[in-house]
């Protein structure tokens, strides 16, 4: 009996020592976490390399993801909380200054102080640019958010590195925002209408409180359709998804403008989310693609795409009970992935007036039958 107690005590001591060691390692690791950017007036070397890779990725594989996307002339703004940097334009727009003593891929680039920066397509002197936070800014922001919620004792030892995403998330995020510029170039009226639809958000999310259970059924069917082993099974489940969607809207007596709210956001943000994942997948599967970024410790050469796709699809399954537009990013993205499988030419009509992602899916199923 005494020997069993002794073993039990040793086990507890061992677990305690392991916990202390893990806490110590985590605390030491936290000393080298990404710091908030310091004003320098120029792009950090690693952020510049990531941006070069983002441009290289879109120009090399973009047309395979969406016709015309790779060859489109799309300036990019990369920002942190202090500075914004603009590349892809030859002359300084109003309010911007050339970065002295530095260049981006052999050309000058420009900077100004950040003022309410955002991740989206933003106007720049009559043109449009894809605007995206730097990875260091995003990492620092996530760490600060978590740190502010933790009690003082835990703040020092919490393993913040677990929340730091691979560089591919930021690189393909640039593709996401660049696609919004492509939408503006290809279908400006549609993008403007989608932006107007955001104003219906308060009304929609009030109505949404009664729809969470039906939304869960809908999302589950969409998830199963994307995971189906055969095209016929995918088409059958996609049909059930669309039927459940129609039933949910009728049961909630959803007005036509709130139905369009769903459709608009799936077109605007769902397609951009799709491009974000599709270009990552293309880099992962395309044996001829050689990434230019090789000395970034957070860059995995796109090898983690399967894990990322699984993570994103699982995240979609958790959206039904959560308020916010992110749900429609995921449902639009998942329908686009299904369309790649069931109707490979679907992108030819995706920018046509009055054509929604769900319409293209319905047509793909009908033609398949």
pLDDT in tens, the chain (369 residues): 555 444 444 334 333 333 333 333 333 334 455 565 566 889 999 999 999 999 999 999 999 999 999 999 999 999 999 999 999 999 999 999 999 999 999 999 999 999 999 999 999 998 999 999 999 898 887 888 888 878 876 877 787 777 789 999 999 999 999 999 999 999 999 999 999 999 999 999 999 999 999 999 999 999 999 999 999 999 999 999 999 999 999 999 999 999 999 999 999 999 999 999 999 999 999 989 999 877 898 999 999 999 999 999 999 999 998 999 999 999 999 999 999 999 999 999 999 999 999 999 999 999 875
Q: What's the pLDDT score for residue 305?
A: 98
Question: What residue ranges in the chain does DSSP mark as E strands?
Answer: 76-79, 83-87, 97-98, 110-113, 120-124, 127-133
Scanning 156-211, the segments in alpha helix (DSSP H) are 167-186, 188-197, 201-207
Half-sphere exposure of 215 (CA within 13 A, CB side): 21
List b or e across 196-222, with b for residues whose CB sees 16 or more CB atoms inside 10 angstroms: ebeebeeebeeebeebeebbbbbbbbb
Residue spans of the domains in the chain: they are 1-32, 45-184, 187-368
**Phi/psi at 242 (nearest 5 deg)?**
-65, -35
- Per-residue model confidence (pLDDT) at position 37: 59
Residue 367 CB contacts under 8 Å (≥ 6 apart), including other chains: 343
251 touches 214 (CB < 8 A): yes
Please give the distance of CA 268 from its chain centroid, rounded to a whole number: 13
DSSP for 226-279, please give it: HH-SSHHHHHHHHHHHHHHHHHHHHHTT--HHHHHHHHHHIIIIIHHHHHHHHH
Paired tokens of 159:
């393993």
- The helix, strand and coil proportions of the chain, stated in percent and rounded to the nearest 5, come to 60, 10, 30
> What is the longest distance spanned by two Cα atoms in the chain?
83
Rounded CA separation 144/165 (Å) = 15
User: How many of the other CB atoms lie within 10 Å of CB of 94?
Assistant: 7
- How far is the C-alpha of 54 from the C-alpha of 52, rounded, in Å? 5
Residues 281, 305: Cα–Cα separation, whole Å: 6
In eight-state DSSP terms, residue 208 is G
For 162, the 3-state DSSP assignment is helix
Q: Which pTM does this prediction carry?
A: 0.89
């Amino acid at each position: 009996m005494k020997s069993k107690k002794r073993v039990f005590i040793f086990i507890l001591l061992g677990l305690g020592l392991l916990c202390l060691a893990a806490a110590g390692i985590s605390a030491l690791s936290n000393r080298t976490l990404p710091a908030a950017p310091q004003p320098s007036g120029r792009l950090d070397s690693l952020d510049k390399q990531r941006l070069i890779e983002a441009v290289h990725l879109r120009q090399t594989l973009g047309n395979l993801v969406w016709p015309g996307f790779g060859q489109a002339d799309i300036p990019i703004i990369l920002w942190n909380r202090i500075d914004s940097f603009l590349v892809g334009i030859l002359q300084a727009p109003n309010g911007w200054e050339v970065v002295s003593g530095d260049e981006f891929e052999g050309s000058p680039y420009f900077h100004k102080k950040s003022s309410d920066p955002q991740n989206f397509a933003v106007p720049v002197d009559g043109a449009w640019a894809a605007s995206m936070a730097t990875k260091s800014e995003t990492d620092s922001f996530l760490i600060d958010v978590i740190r502010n919620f933790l009690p003082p004792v835990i703040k020092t030892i919490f393993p913040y590195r677990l929340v730091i995403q691979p560089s591919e998330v930021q690189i393909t995020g640039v593709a996401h925002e660049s696609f919004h510029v492509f939408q503006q170039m290809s279908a400006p009226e549609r993008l403007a209408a989608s932006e107007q639809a955001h104003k219906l958000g308060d009304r929609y999310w009030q109505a949404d409180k009664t729809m969470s259970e039906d939304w869960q059924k809908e999302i589950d069917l969409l998830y199963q359709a994307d995971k189906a082993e055969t095209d016929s099974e995918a088409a059958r489940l996609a049909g059930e998804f669309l039927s459940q969607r129609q039933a949910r809207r009728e049961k909630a007596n959803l007005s036509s403008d709130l139905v369009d709210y769903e459709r608009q956001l799936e077109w605007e943000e769902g397609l951009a989310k799709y491009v974000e994942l599709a270009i990552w997948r293309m880099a992962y599967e395309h044996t001829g693609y050689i990434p230019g970024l090789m000395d970034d410790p957070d860059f995995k050469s796109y090898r983690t795409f399967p894990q990322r796709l699984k993570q994103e699809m699982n995240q979609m399954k958790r959206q039904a009970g959560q308020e916010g537009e992110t749900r429609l990013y995921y449902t639009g993205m998942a329908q686009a992935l299904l369309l790649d499988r069931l109707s490979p030419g679907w992108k030819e009509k995706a920018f046509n007036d009055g054509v929604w992602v769900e319409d293209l899916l319905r047509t793909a199923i009908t033609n398949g039958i």
